[in-house]
Amino acid sequence: MTKEPLKPRLISVANIDLLLFSAFLISFLLHYRINGFIAMLIIIFGVVKLVMKKLTFRGGLGLLFLPGLFLLLVMGQLYTSDLKEGWTLVERNLSLLLMPFAISSFPSISAKKQTFLIGVFVASAAVFGLICLGNAAMVASEVGSIYTVPNNTHFLYNIFMHHRLTDPFGIHAVYFSLYVALAGIVVLQTVIAAKTSQSKRILLGILFLFFCGLIYLLKSANITLGFAICILLVIAYRYGKSVFSSSKNIALISIGVLVLGFFTFKGIQSKVNDFQFTYEMSDPAMGPLGIRLSIWDCTWQVIQENWLLGTGTGDSHHELLKKYTENNFTIGLENDFNSHNMYLQYWMSNGLFAIGFFVCGLVILFKKAVQHNNAIFLSFIILFALFSLTESTMRTQKGMLFFVFFAALFYWAPQLLAKNISEE
């Protein structure tokens, strides 16, 4: 009598991981409390797996910069004045300590389920993009115009563009552009995969063009630039030297680079039309570049006074606002701007060690991505590193959780997406 094969269990560690990870990816496009709640569930389940001996931390040395950043935030409380603000930031960054290791069981998920997870990531970006466009179309139909009343921080008044496109759903346009850019690169790699069928290639090609359109509408200069760099990177990894093997290929590449260059320029044109390095902080009508330069100038002034240890975890924003007042930077004060640069933000708040940990962490991840020939892993690092030049990415919950999740995911599974999905 032969034994019947055992049926796969519906409730298993791998299935719960898949469910939590999928929900977490979708939650980036929802309210930050939902995102934080699912992150907490991932951490709690990580502790359960540790107790069940289903989780090991072996080989996670390269991720220690994340708990290191958390400990620096705690140490910064020793010399800060605003303890309440400081502990709020410490609590917000708790995932730095635990989440990188709660995700270490990801490699135990089957390749099919990993592919499903990536599909959830791509699909959520596409669906949310369609929802944003649909909402903008309805608003335009109701008011009879695609433009809104301007203010001194949003210089793009078309409701189909930038913050106007995503504001109704409470998500920052630049953060969404990061999500879309990474999803677009994943789709592109599948489109050019050798084993992708013709019909699938056409459908995914349309999806890729849709993501390109969203990147253009979202108007993030550094993400647009990073997206263009990552496109070239993925193509180079796919074809290598063979791409230059014929005059036809060279001609196609030249045309592609020109189109990509035009797309990149058009995506950032509105941000560079008034490009100049001179600015007057008291000017109430300065352009976006002038605002950024003024913010960074004030941040650097704070850093110069606290260059070694920083101001302390809870005091950095107060000190920055003082500089805004001293320099009569009205726009900065009225909008309560943070430093809009994560490298400067870490240096200002927690000193040289903090910026050192952050930069070293990016270098460690970059090296690991190169070692495993993973173009998507590299694209994630490039996009986030550029993103951090103009946003205080790790100061916001969604920015910090996005980085921690994908950094840990790729660290524990460096071969994830190293090959095209369709070839797995």
> Quick one: pLDDT at residue 273?
56
> Quick one: pLDDT at residue 175?
93
CB within 8 Å of 154: residues ≥ 6 apart? 162, 163, 164
Same domain, 80 and 136: no
Instruction: Please say whether the beta carbons of 372 and 418 come within 8 A.
Output: yes
Per-residue pLDDT for 257 more than 90?
no
User: What span, in angstroms and rounded, lies between the C-alpha atoms of 89 and 416?
Assistant: 32
> Is 71 or 49 the better-scoring residue by pLDDT?
71
Residue located via tokens 């986030």: 384
Same domain, 22 and 89: no
281 within a domain of the structure (yes/no):
no
278 within a domain of the structure (yes/no):
no
Instruction: Please say whether the beta carbons of 321 and 333 come within 8 A.
Output: yes
> Quick one: pLDDT at residue 252?
64
To the nearest whole percent, how much of the chain has pLDDT over 70?
85
Instruction: Please say whether the beta carbons of 68 and 47 come within 8 A.
Output: no
Q: Which of 242, 273, 304 is the last residue of a domain?
A: 273
4 within a domain of the structure (yes/no):
no
* Residue pLDDT, tens place only, 81-101: 999 999 999 999 999 998 998
> Quick one: pLDDT at residue 423?
46
Same domain, 261 and 291: no
Neighbours of 263 (CB within 10 A): 18
Residue located via tokens 């309210």: 31
- With bands split at pLDDT 50, 70 and 90, how would you rate the model's confidence at 10? low
| Nearest by Cα to 87 from 333, 312, 252 | 312
- With bands split at pLDDT 50, 70 and 90, how would you rate the model's confidence at 108? confident
210 within a domain of the structure (yes/no):
yes
3-state class of 369 per DSSP? helix
> Is 423 or 83 the better-scoring residue by pLDDT?
83
Say how many domains are in the chain.
Answer: 3
> Quick one: pLDDT at residue 6?
45
> Is 219 or 53 the better-scoring residue by pLDDT?
219
Same domain, 49 and 71: no
Buried b (16+ CB within 10 A) or exposed e, 319-350: bbbebbeebebbbbeeeebbbbbbbbbbbbbb
3 within a domain of the structure (yes/no):
no
> Quick one: pLDDT at residue 221?
84
> Is 335 or 272 the better-scoring residue by pLDDT?
335
Same domain, 115 and 260: yes
61 within a domain of the structure (yes/no):
no
The sign of the CA dihedral 247, 249, 255, 260 is negative
Highest mean pLDDT: which of 94-108, 150-164, 277-291?
94-108
Same domain, 256 and 155: yes
264 within a domain of the structure (yes/no):
yes
Same domain, 199 and 267: yes
170 within a domain of the structure (yes/no):
yes
> Quick one: pLDDT at residue 239?
80
Per-residue pLDDT for 265 more than 70?
no
Please give the residue range of the domain that contains residue 77. Answer: 66-104+287-424
Same domain, 96 and 115: no
Query: Picking from 331-335, 345-349, 394-398, 419-423, which range would have the lowest pLDDT averaged per residue?
Result: 419-423
Per-residue pLDDT for 411 more than 60?
yes
> Quick one: pLDDT at residue 131?
95
SS3 annotation, 299-349: HHHHHHHCCCCCCCCCCHHHHHHHHHHHCCCHHHHHHCCCCCCHHHHHHHH
Neighbours of 148 (CB within 10 A): 16
Same domain, 323 and 416: yes
> Quick one: pLDDT at residue 421?
43
3-state class of 180 per DSSP? helix
User: What span, in angstroms and rounded, lies between the C-alpha atoms of 135 and 382?
Assistant: 31
Same domain, 222 and 299: no
The sign of the CA dihedral 267, 272, 274, 279 is positive
* Residue pLDDT, tens place only, 168-198: 888 889 999 999 999 999 999 999 887 888 8
The sign of the CA dihedral 279, 285, 289, 295 is positive
Same domain, 116 and 162: yes
State both tokens at 392. Answer: 């205080």
Exposure on the CB side of residue 330, measured as CA atoms within 13 A: 7
Same domain, 222 and 170: yes
3-state class of 384 per DSSP? helix
